[in-house]
Homo-oligomer: A and B are copies of this chain.
Amino acid sequence: MKFQRLALIGCGLMGGSFALALRQAAGVAHVAGFSASESTRQKALKLGVIDSACASAAEAVQGADLVGSTKGDVVSAARAALVQHLSHFVPAHPIAGKEVAGIEHVDAKLYRDRQLILTPLPENPSERVLRARQVWQALGSRVLELSPEAHDASFAAVSHMPHLLSFALVAQIASEADGARKLGFAGAGFRDFTRIAASSPTMWRDIALANGAALSAELASYRALLDRLQQAVDSGDGAELGRVFTLASDARRSVRLGPAQGERDE
A interface residues, Cβ below 8 angstroms from B:
95, 115, 117, 150, 153-155, 157-159, 161-176, 178-179, 181-202, 204-206, 208-209, 212, 215-216, 218-223, 225-227, 229-230, 233-234, 236, 238, 241-242, 244-253, 255, 257-258, 260-263, 265-266
Contacts and interface: CB of A to CB of B under 8 A. Distances in A.
A187 to B, nearest CB: 3
A245 B163 CA distance: 9
User: Is the contact region of chain A dominated by helix, strand, or loop, or is it mixed?
Assistant: helix
Given A167-B245, A266-B187, A236 B252 contact: no
Q: Number of copies of this chain in the oligomer?
A: 2
A236 B212 CA distance: 7
A158 B171 contact: no
A8 to B, nearest CB: 25
Contact of A188 (B117, B230, B260): B260
A168 B229 contact: yes
Closest 8 CB pairs of A and B: A187-B265, A201-B245, A174-B251, A170-B248, A162-B193, A167-B248, A171-B248, A201-B246
Contacts of A172: 157, 218, 221-222, 225
7 contacts: A154-B182, A158-B187, A165-B226, A193-B193, A194-B252, A204-B241, A222-B226
Given A226-B219, A230-B220, A190 B246 contact: no
B245 A204 contact: yes
Given A175-B247, A223-B226, 10 more contacts: A158-B182, A167-B248, A186-B258, A188-B260, A190-B257, A194-B252, A201-B248, A206-B238, A215-B233, A219-B229
